Amino acid sequence: MSPRVVVVGPPGAGKSTVAALIATRLGEGVRDTDADVERTAGRTISEIFVEDGEPVFRELERRAVLAALAGHDGVLALGGGAVMDPGVEAALAGHLVVFLDVLIADAARRVGFNRDRPLLVGNPRAQWNRLMEVRRPVYSRVATVTVATDGRTPDEVADEVIEALRLAPGGAPAVTAPQPHLIRVGTGSPGDPAGPDSYDVVVGRGLTGLLPDLLPGLLPGARRVLVVHAAPLRAAAEDLRAVLASGGAEVCVTEVPDAEAGKTAAVAARCWQLLGRAGFTRSDAVVGVGGGAVTDLAGFVAATWLRGVRVVQVPTTLLAMVDAAVGGKTGINTDEGKNLVGAFHPPAGVLCDLGTLATLPERDLVSGLAEVVKTGFIADPRILELTGDSGARDQRSPVLRELVERSVAVKARVVTEDLKESSLREILNYGHTFAHAIEQVENFTWRHGDAVAVGMVFAAELGRLSGRTSPGLVERHRTALAGLGLPVSYRGADWDTLLAAMRRDKKTRGDLLRFVVLEDVGRPVRLEGPDESWLEAAYAAVSS
């Protein structure tokens, strides 16, 4: 259940009035989150500002908006500053959002700037200009439709909104967000009951609002749930706690160190301690909310508690969506290497809400594209074409959505055929042997995707030296990766140090180093025990 239309805009734009008129024309109910906040608090918004301060109000507002987005199916009007919360902005993805724009003269005429507008007290014009300088880009970013309201009656504005949404004969907006896409990992068809080790990866926008409907089906009968998250996702984890608790579950939430610092035996032991103290049984579950490090850790904790409890992964980064959260490989790091301790433990489901990418720093988004490019080189040439499109780096573009879906589909096909990496699944490690060596010697200060980008160039050079990869394909690696802003060279540690790190990689068999190289796009092959002169020459090629 989610709103058919969400109205946003600054004070004085007429959001509440226009939302009510749109609802009447659509024959739907209307809801105003400012009214929700006042009803919950038992005070006016200006009183909350004066007595408790803006941070308290913003938290009340955020919870009211997320609850309304998840639980109201009519027309919804948001408070003027609600969209500035990253979680709210992410949750709006996939909704029909109407931005009512207005100039200060009309806004002042309509509502006045007095004590009831606490952010505009003092010098209203200067305050307004500063406020809109910050907010207007966000309003525009979340908007499906923008309508200017200056000099117009509410009825005129509502009529334009209805026309802009291009209403179909039945009164339902013809402009609709793409439906979530289900990709099955394992046997059976997407959406069917999953067999052993089978599950669906759900890709779409606004999935956060669907969690109340999705999670009971993924975690049937779970009386206790542990939510594992990194510090930046504290608010998202608390919202998830509320969703699960409303279904009757006892919920523990634990915050773990961000990135690779969270993937240690000590952190895993702390999670086991929580599970033990809370009395978790085999029918209970773990939910991982965050990037690849968090989903790796959450999966490992679930795999090892009582020899395996269910886990649902909610990846919030591109890297986690296309790689770490899908496939059932879990693990933690040791001083000797990355992911050397782990287990294969397929999740009960994976929810990839593309809306969360709107809050991802561009550098992290670009890093995640390295794993997308990898799936293009090993299996899907169309991915390489799409990564050359400017939309590949646009968090809201249909191009990025297609890239995620295609990349996940590649991994799903491979994992379905080879769950435990006995043969075919090794192709997913393309570029990773050298990448993991970089990460280890750099003490995990390199982003994983950046290391994988360099690792793919190293593998391409190694393939060329072995006679399997053409010089043109090597150059295509550099062009595709550098074009996205990814690194294609590494000048850090010396060769002997890197070679020693590669020999500790989990893909090594005995003293035999194993690599994946390409005979062509979509034609990966295994290269075992390559001549050490080739390895050193490949290193020279990426370090020069």
What pLDDT digit, counting tens, does each position of 201-228 carry? 999 876 765 666 677 778 787 889 999 9
Of 11-20, 112-121, 128-137, 271-280, the range with the lowest mean pLDDT is: 112-121
Question: Residue 42, by phi and psi: left (phi above 0), alpha (psi -120 to 50) or beta?
Answer: left
Helix (H, G, I), strand (E, B) or coil at 435: helix
Q: Walk me through the domains of the chain, giving residue ranges and CATH numbers.
A: 5-164 (3.40.50.300), 181-360 (3.40.50.1970), 424-543 (1.20.1090.10)
What pLDDT digit, counting tens, does each position of 459-477 carry? 999 999 999 999 999 999 9
Integer Cα distance of 532 and 338 in angstroms: 23
What is the average per-residue pLDDT within 131-148?
81
For tokens 């919950």, name the residue: 40
Instruction: Categorize the per-residue pLDDT at 2 as very low, low, confident or very high, splitting at 50, 70 and 90.
Output: low
What pLDDT digit, counting tens, does each position of 176-198 carry? 445 678 898 887 667 666 666 78
Q: Which amino acid is at 29?
A: G
Q: What's the pLDDT score for residue 452?
A: 96
Q: What's the pLDDT score for residue 25?
A: 82
**Predicted TM-score (pTM) above 0.85:** no
What is the average per-residue pLDDT within 434-458?
94
Q: What's the pLDDT score for residue 352?
A: 92
Check: CB of residue 434 under 8 Å from CB of residue 414: no
Residue 59 has pLDDT above 60, yes or no: yes
Instruction: Categorize the per-residue pLDDT at 132 as very low, low, confident or very high, splitting at 50, 70 and 90.
Output: confident
For tokens 């290193």, name the residue: 539
- In 291-386, the DSSP E strands lie at 310-315, 329-334, 337-344, 349-353
Count of CA atoms in the C-beta half-sphere (13 A) of 342: 24
What pLDDT digit, counting tens, does each position of 239-279 carry? 788 878 877 788 999 999 988 888 999 999 999 999 999 99
- In 154-260, the DSSP E strands lie at 181-185, 199-204, 224-230, 250-256
CA distances from 306 to 224, 230, 275 (A): 14, 24, 10
Of 298-302, 349-353, 480-484, the range with the lowest mean pLDDT is: 349-353
